[in-house]
């Protein structure tokens, strides 16, 4: 996840202050990813430095708001249109399996059993989340959840091999 681009996305519609960005981010991802407030302010400073965001003057103790610049909009468009590279062989469990084979680890079946259990728990969590989502308002999140379930099913099938 790109904190930089998530902030640009949230500033696209209107100026916001840091805490508003945090609340809006949590709502956008249905509280599925943690975004630290400190990360937000650090990233905002970098975005201002890079000319992608500009601060608005705060009046008498009001929180400082930020707005996206035209350069920031262009950066966001470029990021959105670009493909996402998938790390095909850099999966942590696959790497653990390679390490286990390297040392002739004798609990490989137990590793696989535990991994299957975790995948099944994750699938239950995703399915529970899916039932909480509104088909109209949360269409994009539903697609994300459905994709996650398909990936989990593929991982489970691979472990069965």
Domain residue extents for the chain: 3-81, 88-159
What mean pLDDT is reported for the chain?
A: 93
- What pLDDT was estimated at residue 88? 74
> Do the Cβ atoms of 115 and 144 come closer than 8 Å?
no
Confidence bin at 59 (pLDDT 50/70/90): low
Query: What's the CATH class of domain 3-81?
Result: mainly alpha
Interval 66-122: pLDDT, tens? 999 999 999 999 999 999 887 777 889 999 999 999 998 999 999 999 999 999 999
The model's pLDDT over 111-141, given as tens digits with 9 standing for 90+, comes to: 999 999 999 999 999 999 999 999 999 999 9
Task: From 39, 69, 71, 40, select the one nearest 56 (Cα to Cα).
Answer: 69
């Amino acid at each position: 996840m790109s904190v930089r681009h998530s902030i640009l996305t949230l500033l696209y519609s209107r100026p916001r202050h840091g805490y508003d960005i945090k609340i809006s981010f949590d709502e956008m991802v249905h509280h599925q990813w943690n975004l630290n407030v400190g990360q937000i302010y650090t990233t905002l400073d970098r975005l201002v430095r890079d000319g992608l965001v500009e601060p608005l003057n705060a009046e008498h103790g009001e929180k400082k708001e930020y707005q996206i610049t035209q350069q920031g909009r262009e950066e966001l468009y470029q990021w959105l249109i670009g493909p996402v590279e998938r790390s095909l062989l850099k999966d942590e469990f696959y790497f653990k399996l390679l390490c286990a084979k390297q040392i002739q680890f004798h609990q490989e079946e137990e590793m696989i059993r535990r991994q299957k259990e975790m995948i099944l728990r994750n699938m239950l969590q995703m399915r529970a989340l899916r039932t909480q989502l509104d088909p109209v308002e949360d269409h994009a999140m539903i697609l994300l959840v459905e994709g996650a379930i398909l990936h989990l099913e593929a991982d489970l099938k691979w472990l069965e091999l």
